[in-house]
Structure 1
Amino acid sequence: MSITHSLSNALSGLTASARMAEVVSSNVANALTDGYGRRSVDLTSAVVGGRGAGVEIGGITRHVDRGIIADRRLADADLAASSTLVSTLSSLQDIVGQVGVEGSISSRITSVEAALVDAASDSSSEVRLTALANRLSELTDGLNTASGNIQRERERADASIASQVETLNASLEQLEQLNGDISYSINTGGDPSPLLDARQNVIDTISEIVPVRELQRENGRVALMTPEGQMLIDGRAKSFGFVENVVITPDMTLASGGLSGLTLDGSALEPDGIGRMAGGSLGASFAARDDVLVSAQAGLDDLAADLISRFQDNGLDGTIAPGGAGVLTDRGAAFLPANTTGLAGRISLNIAVDPNRGGAVTNLRDGVNATAPGPAGNSTLLRAMSDALSDPRASTLDPVTRGAAERAGEFEAGLGSQRLTFEAELGFQTARWSSLKEAEAADGVDTDYEMQMLLRIEQAYAANARVIQTVNSLMQRLMEI
């Protein structure tokens, strides 16, 4: 081997060692960076004129486990969906209240029952009649507030959908750009690893919104498709649309056309508004807006209808004309069974018995439409109202006969049970996600291994430097001869 050949081999070794040290440094520095894939330098033997000419850098390999990442992304979607639904049910329980907790709908009905008993025990006391009117007013106010807050939650879910669609479109556009940049880098012999890291983070963002499967395409490009078959990007990114509603009322639903579903390139998706993109936080937001919160509103409306009906029976109060309004009304009018939607937001105390609006509390004792005060000691109507409130009856949504307070308690308990179910699912999805995240991290950067590599690189560098030093000594010796 000639001196020149030896020097060339040593220089190529120094170059390779320097590049390997740079890669190791990058691995250690980004050991905790999300989306970073461990790199390694590919070395090959250099051959010039049929003779070995040291080593050359063949490229940089990025190491990731695509199978684990794919499973973790599906877990991302399931975890985001469960978190969204648990948050929705927690808000619902705060709105409606829990059985036995002060301020809940059931506790307000119980307070009305107690006030009826007190008023019936001394029907001549206007103080007790006023207390009864106040309890009834608090009950209607509680239902009104709960109904309004449920619609606020639907508005928040609608705004969340709009925000997620905007993020989805922006991420798909970024993915399209990164696909092009990666393809160009590969075709020109560059190192696409930083671009691959960026693309993995973008896809991770998308995977929380909708579940995705990554499909490999030529020149390093990828396509994304949901597990149910909706293509998000394959070359050109798809464009999804959504129209946000700033104000939502109980009668506004997707089926009625009052609320928007997703559109793809301007065309509506399936009738359910989300089509083959179900899952993830986006699907959960649709479920919250169009299912969970709508069902809760229907349950509240059923409670309101049950309460009004119990006091609207003209067999209870002889002063009520057939079809007339009772103690509780639909915004002052009689309740019509065909107009139940949103009733919880409209239920109100009859102005004739509301002292805050000029009504006479004695009409609670004498009859809603009494024209003059009756016998002060007559508690017949008050006792009848108390019996009507506790009388086991079926309702439109609940075929089981229950008293009013019991029905409200059952409704609140149902929401609590649903929340616990979602929380159990959230616990499972959290454990699953954590397990996959740990498996992904285990396949990432191992700093101990990188330190060992650094020692080997140092040894290789020292050996090549020693060759150069020896060649230099030989050259000086030859010059001295």
Structure 2
Amino acid sequence: MTLSTALNTAQAIFNNTSKQTQVVSSNIANGQNANYVRRSASLTTAGNGALVASVDRAQNNSLLRQTITATSVSTGQSTLLTGLQEMRDLMGNNEYDNSPSRRLQNLFDQLGSYAASPTSTTLGSTVVSNAQDLVDTLNNISAGVQGIRTRADAEIQSQVDKLNGLLSQFEAANNQVVGAKITGSDANNALDSRETILKQISSIVGVSTVVRDNGDMAIYTSEGTTLFETIPRTVSFNSTNAYAANVTGNPIYIDGVAITAGEGGDTSASGSLQALLQIRDEIAPKFQSQLDEVARTLIVSFAETGPSGALPPLAGLFTNGVDDAVDATGTVIPGLAASIKVNPLAKGNPTMIRDGGFNGAAYVVNTGGSGYSKLLDSYTQAMKTTRSFDQATEVKGTLSLMTYSSASTSWLEAIRSTATAANETKTAMEARASEAYTSETGVSLDEELSLLLDIEQSYKAATKLVSTIDEMMAALLQAAG
């Protein structure tokens, strides 16, 4: 080996160790950065030894796809569970103390007590109080359900705005990647940024990706709609400021195609948007319709038909808040749970529950004195009588008012229980996918410090080589005089 060759070799070692040190230092500095993918300096053989040919990312596309998918389904499930828990909380604690079924049972029991002692005005007042508690519960839960829908709608708007912003950021990062690939410059930082944005997008809507020439990436939703291809596609939504039972929310469009809502307690939703649509348009309206059926059947059960039962049925203890109409058709009246009221005449004269006459003298049933309990018994019997309910509420079968109300609570609890179990599974799946991806692409400080020691040894070898060359040059010059 000539002295010039030895010097060139030493210079190459210094260049390599400098570049390797920069890469390792960058890895160590980003050791706690979850969005950083580890770099490594790749060496190649050249005339004067090894040279750093490129700085490569420890990318694993298969694990990245799994992580993105797991993020989407986990976010969708947790979003649904949050909405279900809000609906569950409307009915009180774990004993459902504020549920319509509990209030109905209280009213049923007090009617029985009043029927046993029909002369007691105190018991009559207690029945009115229980009736008011039941009405307040239906009114409040109905308002709460519509509040959940309103908040879901507002969150949809927030998520849509965020998604549009992320797509703009993705476009900038994608252009940087393509530009770097074309010019041959370092694209690693741009790739990290693009990947970070993609993960955020996947929490809002399920995505799949395709990488094309020069690292250009296209994004499609899990339903196959184009989300980004060279430029972002428009995500549009018109929010609704307030909800009632008869108000339908607006759809979300991606590139002109409507997003579908998730389905089931173990939801099919990928990302938060589909889960929010499921809460706003599927589960909350269905529960509202069940509340409305309870309210309708209450009015029917306590309707007055006169002494012989032949008069046109008119609202008695419970009214729809508008008129005295009684609808026994077995069809949901949207929003009835929000408007049902206790007849104000009962508050002023509780004995009208025992005697009848909310709709005038023709409807008075008891003319025989204060010991009469037949009408009270008919009310409790009506609450236990099986009847048809609207099958669209998903609480199916011919049931009594009491059973239907309990079945409605069970319906919601069954979905919530399924969603809870699914959320645990999907959260664990996301954690495992993220852990596997981080294991492959993340920074291990132990490995980096070990590599730094190896680089130090290379540097020491280069300095030893330079020192030897210096001694040889000095000896050569001294010999030459």
TM-score, length of structure 2 as denominator length: 0.90
Q: Distance in 1 between matches of 2:77 and 2:243?
A: 24
1:429 partnered with 2:429: no
Offset of 1:385 from its aligned partner? 1.3
Number of the residue aligned with 1:12 = 12
Correspondent of 1:419 among 402, 408, 416: 416
Number of the residue aligned with 2:228 = 233
Q: Distance in 1 between matches of 2:94 and 2:472?
A: 94
Unaligned runs of 5+ in 2: 263-267
Number of the residue aligned with 1:223 = 218
Offset of 1:114 from its aligned partner? 1.4
Offset of 1:222 from its aligned partner? 0.9
Letter paired with 2:237: F
Offset of 1:79 from its aligned partner? 0.5
Greater CA drift, 300-309 or 437-446:
437-446
Q: Distance in 2 between matches of 1:63 and 1:155?
A: 44
Aligned length: 462
Q: Distance in 1 between matches of 2:433 and 2:418?
A: 23
Q: Distance in 2 between matches of 1:208 and 1:272?
A: 16
Correspondent of 1:340 among 311, 333, 338: 333
Number of the residue aligned with 1:201 = 196
Letter paired with 1:446: S
Offset of 1:68 from its aligned partner? 0.8
Cα deviation 1:123-151 (Å, max 9, x = unaligned): 22221111111100110110010111000
Q: Distance in 2 between matches of 1:127 and 1:209?
A: 57
Offset of 1:153 from its aligned partner? 0.5
The answer (yes or no) to whether the contact 1:13–1:460 under 8 Å persists in 2 is yes
The answer (yes or no) to whether the contact 2:261–2:274 under 8 Å persists in 1 is no
Correspondent of 1:380 among 358, 374, 378: 374
Structure-2 change in CA distance of 1:320 and 1:155 (3 Å): farther
Number of the residue aligned with 1:306 = 297
Cα deviation 1:454-475 (Å, max 9, x = unaligned): 2221111111111112222233
Offset of 1:20 from its aligned partner? 0.6
Number of the residue aligned with 2:383 = 389
Q: Aligned ranges for residues 85-96 of structure 1 at < 5 Å?
A: 85-96=80-91
Q: Distance in 1 between matches of 2:259 and 2:186?
A: 46
The answer (yes or no) to whether the contact 2:167–2:232 under 8 Å persists in 1 is yes
Number of the residue aligned with 2:317 = 327
Greater CA drift, 24-33 or 144-153:
24-33
Q: Aligned ranges for residues 28-427 of structure 1 at < 5 Å?
A: 28-46=28-46, 52-97=47-92, 100-253=95-248, 259-264=249-254, 267=256, 269-270=257-258, 272=260, 279-312=270-303, 314=305, 321-333=311-323, 334-336=325-327, 337=329, 340-353=333-346, 355=347, 359-367=348-356, 368-371=358-361, 375-397=369-391, 398=395, 400-427=397-424
The answer (yes or no) to whether the contact 1:97–1:412 under 8 Å persists in 2 is no
Q: Distance in 2 between matches of 1:226 and 1:339?
A: 36
The answer (yes or no) to whether the contact 1:96–1:104 under 8 Å persists in 2 is yes
Cα deviation 1:29-88 (Å, max 9, x = unaligned): 323321211111122334xxxxx2344332210012110110111111110111111112
Q: Distance in 2 between matches of 1:241 and 1:111?
A: 48
Q: Distance in 2 between matches of 1:365 and 1:313?
A: 12
Q: Distance in 2 between matches of 1:100 and 1:112?
A: 17
Offset of 1:16 from its aligned partner? 1.0
Q: Distance in 1 between matches of 2:380 and 2:360?
A: 19
Number of the residue aligned with 1:468 = 466
Offset of 1:279 from its aligned partner? 2.3
Seq. identity, %? 29
Local SS of the residue matching 1:179 = helix
Local SS of the residue matching 1:123 = coil
The answer (yes or no) to whether the contact 1:115–1:128 under 8 Å persists in 2 is yes
Local SS of the residue matching 1:443 = helix
Offset of 1:369 from its aligned partner? 3.0
Cα deviation 1:237-268 (Å, max 9, x = unaligned): 11111111110111012xxxxx2112345x4x
Offset of 1:319 from its aligned partner? 9.2
Letter paired with 1:413: S
Cα deviation 1:314-339 (Å, max 9, x = unaligned): 16x66995142221111142233566
Q: Distance in 2 between matches of 1:173 and 1:120?
A: 70
RMSD, matched Cα = 2.3
1:454 partnered with 2:452: yes
Q: Distance in 2 between matches of 1:99 and 1:273?
A: 29
Number of the residue aligned with 1:49 = none
Q: Distance in 1 between matches of 2:150 and 2:466?
A: 73
Greater CA drift, 319-328 or 427-436:
319-328
The answer (yes or no) to whether the contact 2:202–2:271 under 8 Å persists in 1 is yes
Cα deviation 1:107-129 (Å, max 9, x = unaligned): 10011011111222222222111
TM-score, length of structure 1 as denominator length: 0.90
Local SS of the residue matching 2:48 = strand
Local SS of the residue matching 2:70 = helix
The answer (yes or no) to whether the contact 1:80–1:208 under 8 Å persists in 2 is yes
The answer (yes or no) to whether the contact 2:225–2:254 under 8 Å persists in 1 is no
